[in-house]
Amino acid sequence: MGSPINVNKRQFLLRHVPVALSLTALPSLATAKSGRSLYLHNLHTQERLECWYYSNGKYLPQALDRINHLFRDHRTEQAHQIDENLLDTLFQLRLQFGIEQPIEIISGYRSAKTNEMLRRHSNGVARKSYHMVGRAVDCRFPGVPTSVLRDEAIAAARGGVGYYRRSDFVHLDTGPVRNW
């Protein structure tokens, strides 16, 4: 006797409530003070890194150096300090999705030279990109549709979120909260 609206509500609840309940059981950044880790895979260099970058209330300089190297501009080999808040955003999303596989890094730091080259050859590359100051990453989470990653990143409200459906990646940055 249910109308199409009731069927859609039921389907929605069956699909989303278990996910929402499971996410509330995961630790947040506030409760993850003892340690934070990331497992990363740079798709251009094929390098992988699994490390604890935060422990006992402190960011770990050696781990941050290794992350900076993995996020480097693969065209120029230049590295830059990556914003710890960006790493925390990746960590928080990893926790929410329960990801065990490495997060796929498509683009981390970009030199001014690389950014300008990309601007000349494609749409959507900002003149003053947050990539150029270590505050942005283009990524995918294995097993998570990029549309779902986008939605969760927007809900987290930790910075900018761009969704590139055709290229199948999400841009995350630590700038003002906005999305496109």
Residue at 174 is within a domain? yes
Asked whether 82 and 72 are in contact (CB, 8 A), the reply is no
Residue at 16 is within a domain? no
φ and ψ at residue 160, rounded to 5 degrees: -80, 145
CATH number at residue 71: 3.30.1380
Provide DSSP, 34-64. Answer: TEEEEEEEETTT--EEEEEEEETTEE-HHHH
Residue at 6 is within a domain? no
**CB 118: neighbour CB atoms within 10 A?**
17
Residue at 175 is within a domain? yes
In the chain, how many domains are there?
1
pLDDT band for position 11 (50/70/90)? very low
What integer pLDDT is reported at residue 32 of this predicted model? Answer: 58
Residue at 73 is within a domain? yes
CA 52 to CA 54: how far, in whole Å?
Answer: 6
Residue at 120 is within a domain? yes
pLDDT tens-digit map of 39-53: 999 999 999 999 999
pLDDT tens-digit map of 90-147: 999 999 999 999 999 999 999 999 988 887 887 777 778 999 999 999 999 999 999 9
* Full domain range(s) for residue 149: 31-179
Q: Of 175, 176, 174, 145, which is closest to residue 163 (Cα–Cα)?
A: 145
Sheet holding 160-164, edge to edge: 58-59, 48-55, 35-42, 103-107, 136-140, 169-173, 160-164, 178-179
Burial class of residue 117 (count of CB atoms within 10 Å of its CB; 0-12, 13-18, 19+): middle
Residue at 13 is within a domain? no
